[in-house]
Amino acid sequence: MEDIGKEELFFAVNRLRYKDRKEKYERCDFVNHEIQTDEFYNYLWLACEELSKSDITEIDKERQMTIDDLCILMEWECDNWVKVFAIDHLHYFEFKDIWERLDLQIQNVMHRINEIVRKRNVAVFLIAHYKNNVWTWEPSPDRFKDGASIKQVANMIIQIEREASDSNQSRFYITKMRWPIKPPELETAFDLWKFEYAFKKSSPRNQSIWIS
């Protein structure tokens, strides 16, 4: 958690410097605490203030949560007008029935979460992982680990392919959409200093071009 905190502060400080048109700090210098100027501490304080205003609620990391815990927490947060949830990901939760197939337990969980979504009119982003034996990339909902129910219950599935390079280039495949609209493909690069994607529609798959 300390490492994650340093990363958040690093990018928050550099986003502030970007807005002020100043040169960004280097990661190693920041993490190793080799920058010790008054200007640096001023930006660090501003970044801490900015992050302290975040409305994100993180789950306790000291124990494994059950799905019952998750649903109770979601209902409680809905009472406090929370409208968006991000869950990463279901396999990290504690499942009680060791005799029942994991994919069937996940199916039950998906339906329970979907019930809260419909009853409370909230959005849930579920981050799912792929099967371990995937050697070649081809976007398909069938690649999710124990994920038949993910494909069935989800309203939309977005699968992300990221280039293994410093370009931070990503391609987004929308492989399921419950509306009568042709699912598009999007490709973009993530700007760490602006902390945002610059989305552009891609050309058809057989004529696709990477756009920076």
The domain segmentation of the chain, as residue ranges, is 2-52, 67-207
DSSP class of residue 84 equals E
* Spatial distance between the Cα atoms of 147 and 128, rounded to a whole number of angstroms: 8
**Buried/exposed 66-88: b ≥16 CB within 10 Å, e otherwise:** ebeebeebbeebbeeeeeebebe
Residue 208 main-chain phi, psi, to 5 deg: -70, 145
Please, what's the b/e burial string for 176-211 (b: 16 or more CB within 10 A of its CB; e: otherwise)? Answer: beeeeeeeebbbbbeeeeeeeeeeeebeeeeeeeeb
Cα 101 to chain centroid distance, Å, stands at 27
The pTM assigned to this predicted structure is 0.67
C-alpha closest to that of 212 among 166, 159, 158: 166
Instruction: In whole angstroms, give the CA distance from residue 39 to residue 54.
Output: 24
Q: Which residues contact 124 (CB under 8 A, 6 or more apart)?
A: 84, 85, 86, 87, 113, 116, 117
Tokens of 204: 């058809």
Q: What is the DSSP letter of 100?
A: S
Evaluated on CA atoms 150, 151, 154, 160, the torsion sign reads positive
**Beta carbons of 146 and 112 less than 8 angstroms apart:** no
Q: What is the mean pLDDT of each run of 10 residues along the chain (212 residues)?
A: 81 91 90 91 94 75 76 91 83 62 76 91 86 69 74 84 73 83 77 74 46 34
CA distance 169 to 191: 9
Instruction: Domain 67-207: give its CATH code.
Output: 3.40.50.300
